[in-house]
Amino acid sequence: MTNSWTDIKNTDLVIVMGGNAAEAHPCGFKWVTEAKHHRGAKLIVVDPRFTRTASVADMYAPIRPGTDIAFLMGMIRWMIENDKVDWDYVKNFTNASFLVREDFGWQDGLFTGYDEGKRDYDKASWDYQFGEDGYALTDPTLQDPRCVWNMLKAHVDVYTPEFVENITGTPRDKFLKIAEMIGETSAADKTMTSMYALGWTQHSKGSQNIRGMAMLQLILGNIGVRGGGMNALRGHSNIQGLTDIGLMSNLLPGYLNMPTEKEPDWTTYMESRQFRPLMEGQTSYWQNYSKFMVSFMKSMWGDAATPETDWAYHYLPKLDVPAYDMLRMFELMHQGHVNIYFCQGFNPLLALSNRGKNTEALAKLKLLVVMDPLETETSRFWENHGIYNDVDPAAIQTEVIQLPSTCFAEDEGSLVNSGRWLQWHWPGATAPGQAQTDVWIMAQIFLRLRELYRTEGGVVPEPILNLTWDYADPNEPTAGELAREMNGRALTTLTDPNDPSKVLVEAGQQVLNFSQLKDDGSTMCGNWIYSGSWNENGNNMARRDNSDPDNTGTYQNWAWSWPMNRRILYNRASADLDGNPRDPSRPLIWWNGERWEGYDVPDIAVTAPPGQVMPFIMNPEGVSRLFSRGMMRDGPFPTHMEPFESPMQNVFNDRMRGNPVARVFESDVEQFATSEEFPFVGTSYRLTEHFHYWTKHNRVNAVMQPEFFVEISEELAAERGIARGGMVRVWSKRGSVQAKAVVTKRIKPLICGGKPVHVVGIPLHWGFTGAARKGFGPNTLTPFVGDANIETPEFKAFLVNIEPLAGEPIA
């Protein structure tokens, strides 16, 4: 989230699209209820199904799964055409005036530079024009046909309301009504908040869905302000923490990058990361990259990380591919290239696409280790459960070890919520049986491995032997110790650069925050964005003061949020060029003549004069991007692409299947279907009664939603002769499931390209372990392909067929 849950109460308009907040985030949704009740805010829901969120919405419109970009580009077009643009914001705080290279263009659904053989773009032309001083060229009058604004105008021109209706199936009158409601928030004193989740990410162009809304929000001036923002509702408790801490194969903590093979040494690695400002006087905060990176290396390897060793850079693995995401790992496993798989808090048998392939892949492992508080289907993948897991245990040689772990309620630590708040928690119960904390388990593995390296040697033992492990009890580092390490401390005494006699931090003390980190080896910090969370003031994550002066919703003294306890990112953009609040009724920060002050921690150097330093300090431009240069693999503007399995051809280019740069493995291509074979659109989702595959173990949740079902329209039920509550078979090119049928008015056929499109809704909470009835999940059916930028699988749009099941359901 750019903003916080509590800030949603400040909004005038909530749009829930690409998510189902009431259903999947009922507790956070209370802030929507609050905004509706006390501000008279309106709620718009755009979703293939009339959801629980829609049940309390002021406006609902259906949309065909996987066509959000067309809808959003249509919105942008409408805003421009109807002059619903926050011009001050667009001109000052976005790159609208930047000139784009002459050789950049878009045609037949593709941007310039496409290489069909490589399924990739040469992105060189997706850039600004630069002057001799190295700064980007601009036209503040927005007259130049090559300026971003005019390029955007041309790009969205095709997305007329008629075009949008034809692609998305959203009735034109509803689209136009929503456009009017959204358009009102282009006024400086009106805001809209976008709440989205996996309904946008789980597509082969998921990142571009989000870009589309982010651009719309920038045009309306709704970023960096109270009640605005792009608010990603994270799907798991602490999944925000997972990304923050860099638990992805290509990330290090704090969104630093794992080096690649093309970066064999420190200098090469740093060269491409310390972005120089692209406009004069801008902050370009990533110029500090080396301070965060060196402090991280010091936290990892202490005295072994020296300037002479390039901070032990050679200890870091170098990626030979962009990422070892879960799709790639299971592809490799399926090819027999993986011997051991550690599965920690993850149930891939149900959570990953194309289950049949994953069962085969797991059976090729020598050893599978599952660390989980619960029985998972993955740990039992070898067990026969009739139709629900029809395998032959005798044919599976994989050794499986289950390590029972504690759950969140049984240990201490912090959880990071969607709003980037690190909230400390204490154990509420004692773990049952032999369950141990994940930290204890990892420590035991590490200590034994280190001992083996010490006694037996091995290839490259140094990164293991020299890993810093200075915990009071090496067997079980405490949450407090780990948190203090993430905050970072001074290794030698830090003094004021302007006055060396002034001591800032004594050696051994916690740094105040990341502004004190250094790239000379005098500081260590496990995760720079968490720096400030546990400094010499103590554990700021444990703060529980919910006072909120003037009811701004910032709650500065409740827990701690990264970065720097800032609650609304880009909050400098809430003030105008002179530093005055753009909406006097909702001030956030302002310039008092000498410095920035206000209700939130300013997202700008406090002494940076207004009018000079622009609000988007992480971008070398200083402004936000309507045109994202080469930052994304699939284009600098979002463009409509069909899902890999779709009932419609891409209207721009009928040779194009899915996202033209999404990575697909050859063996999976054969398993993509056409709408001739599979006429209906499947989409998967969560229900409020359950949390993923966990709560089916809990009897009360099992009572609330006991059994796997699919949802279909009355029209499709009639067409296929399906009765409410009857058993149906749903199958895709990859597998088949059996479910009860919920026949509902909440799903309606959509008219796209002149033809009706039927949606089959498939909730995901059942499996073959737990208290609830045995069932299937949607991922027996889903295709094995992910987003072009971050590889999130396309769970939200695929093709299926459905028929009533003959005879009685199999128990």
Partner 1 sequence: MSTETASQPVTAVANPPTVPLAAGFDARDLVRISATTQQPTPERQLTPVAKLIDVSKCIGCKACQTACVEWNDTIPEIEENVGVYENPHDLTPDMFTLMRFTEYENEETNNLEWLIRKDGCMHCEDPGCLKACPAPGAIVQYSNGIVDFIHENCIGCGYCISGCPFDIPRLSQRDHTVYKCTLCSDRVAVGQGPACAKACPTQAIVFGTKDDMKAHAEERIADLKSRGYDNAGLYDPAGVGGTHVMYVLHHADKPSLYEGLPDDPVIAGTVEAWKGPTKTIGLAAIALAAVGSIVHNVMTRPNAVSVNDERQAGDIVDAAAPPDSTPPRRDQA
Q: Which of 577, 742, 751, 790 binds partner 1 (CB under 8 A)?
A: 742
Q: Which of 743, 759, 797, 802 binds partner 1 (CB under 8 A)?
A: 743
Rounded Cα distance, 272 and 288, in Å:
13
The Cβ-side half-sphere exposure at 603, using a 13 Å CA radius, reads 28
Identity at 583, one-letter amino acid code: D
118 binds partner 1 (CB under 8 A): no
Token digits of residue 480: 């407090």
Q: Which is nearer to partner 1, 398 or 509 (CB)?
A: 509
Task: Count residues near partner 1 (CB under 8 A).
Answer: 66
244 binds partner 1 (CB under 8 A): no
563 cis-preceded (ω within 30 degrees of 0): yes
Q: Which of 746, 765, 774, 796 binds partner 1 (CB under 8 A)?
A: 746
Considering the complex, what minimum distance in angstroms separates the CB of residue 463 from partner 1? Answer: 21
688 binds partner 1 (CB under 8 A): yes
Beta bridge partners of 99: 147
Helix (H, G, I), strand (E, B) or coil at 712: strand
In the stretch 634-673, what mask flags binding to partner 1 with x, by CB under 8 A? ----------------------------------------
Rounded Cα distance, 135 and 124, in Å:
17
Q: Which of 56, 242, 407, 504 binds partner 1 (CB under 8 A)?
A: 56
54 binds partner 1 (CB under 8 A): yes
Binding piece for partner 1, criterion CB under 8 A, among 28-36, 149-157, 184-192, 622-630? 28-36
Q: Which is nearer to partner 1, 24 or 648 (CB)?
A: 24
Q: Which is nearer to partner 1, 25 or 582 (CB)?
A: 25
Residues 472, 478, 483, 485, Cα dihedral to 10°: 20
- Vertex 298 angle, CA 297 and 304, to 5°: 95
Q: Which is nearer to partner 1, 33 or 129 (CB)?
A: 33
- In what helix (H) or strand (E) does residue 180 lie, and over which residues does it extend? helix 172-183
470 binds partner 1 (CB under 8 A): yes
Q: Which is nearer to partner 1, 625 or 746 (CB)?
A: 746
In the stretch 690-709, what mask flags binding to partner 1 with x, by CB under 8 A? ---------xxxxxxxxxxx
> Which residues of 481-541 form beta strands (DSSP E)?
489-490, 494-496, 499-505, 523-524, 534-535, 538-539
Cβ contact 425:408 at 8 Å? yes
Cβ neighbours, 10 Å, residue 751: 14
Rounded Cα distance, 596 and 305, in Å:
38
Considering the complex, what minimum distance in angstroms separates the CB of residue 802 from partner 1? Answer: 14
- Vertex 499 angle, CA 494 and 505, to 5°: 20
Q: Which of 100, 252, 529, 772 binds partner 1 (CB under 8 A)?
A: 772
Binding piece for partner 1, criterion CB under 8 A, among 283-291, 341-349, 476-484, 568-576? 476-484
Binding piece for partner 1, criterion CB under 8 A, among 216-224, 260-268, 663-671, 735-743? 735-743
Determine the distance from the C-alpha atom of residue 56 to the mean position of all C-alpha atoms in its chain, rounded to a whole number.
26
In the stretch 425-464, what mask flags binding to partner 1 with x, by CB under 8 A? -x--------------------------------------
DSSP string, 179-207: HHHHHGGGSTT--EEEEE-HHHHSSTTHH
37 binds partner 1 (CB under 8 A): yes
The interface with partner 1 within residues 525-544 (CB under 8 A) comprises 538-539, 541-542, 544
Rounded Cα distance, 579 and 585, in Å:
15
58 binds partner 1 (CB under 8 A): yes
Q: Which of 455, 501, 547, 585 binds partner 1 (CB under 8 A)?
A: 547
Rounded Cα distance, 495 and 511, in Å:
12
484 binds partner 1 (CB under 8 A): yes
771 binds partner 1 (CB under 8 A): yes
> Integer distance in angstroms from the first to the last C-alpha of the chain?
44
Cβ contact 268:323 at 8 Å? no
In the stretch 563-602, what mask flags binding to partner 1 with x, by CB under 8 A? ----------------------------------------
Q: Which of 5, 29, 637, 694 binds partner 1 (CB under 8 A)?
A: 29
Cβ contact 509:490 at 8 Å? yes
Instruction: Annotate 792-806 with b (16+ C-beta within 10 A) or e (fewer).
Output: bbbbbbbbbbbeebe
Q: Which is nearer to partner 1, 455 or 547 (CB)?
A: 547
Of the candidates 707, 722, 649, 716, the residue with the CA atom closest to the CA atom of residue 682: 716
Helices marked H in 560-648 = none
Of the candidates 227, 195, 218, the residue with the CA atom closest to the CA atom of residue 567: 227
Considering the complex, what minimum distance in angstroms separates the CB of residue 211 from partner 1? Answer: 29
Q: Which of 674, 723, 755, 810 binds partner 1 (CB under 8 A)?
A: 723
Q: Which is nearer to partner 1, 220 or 741 (CB)?
A: 741
Cβ contact 306:300 at 8 Å? no
Q: Is the dihedral of CA 101, 102, 104, 109 positive or negative?
A: positive
Q: Which of 111, 269, 286, 424 binds partner 1 (CB under 8 A)?
A: 424
The contact set with partner 1 (CB under 8 A) reads 22-23, 26-27, 29-30, 33, 36-37, 40, 42, 50, 52-56, 58, 60, 412, 424, 426, 470-473, 478-481, 484, 538-539, 541-542, 544-547, 688-689, 699-709, 723-726, 740-746, 771-773
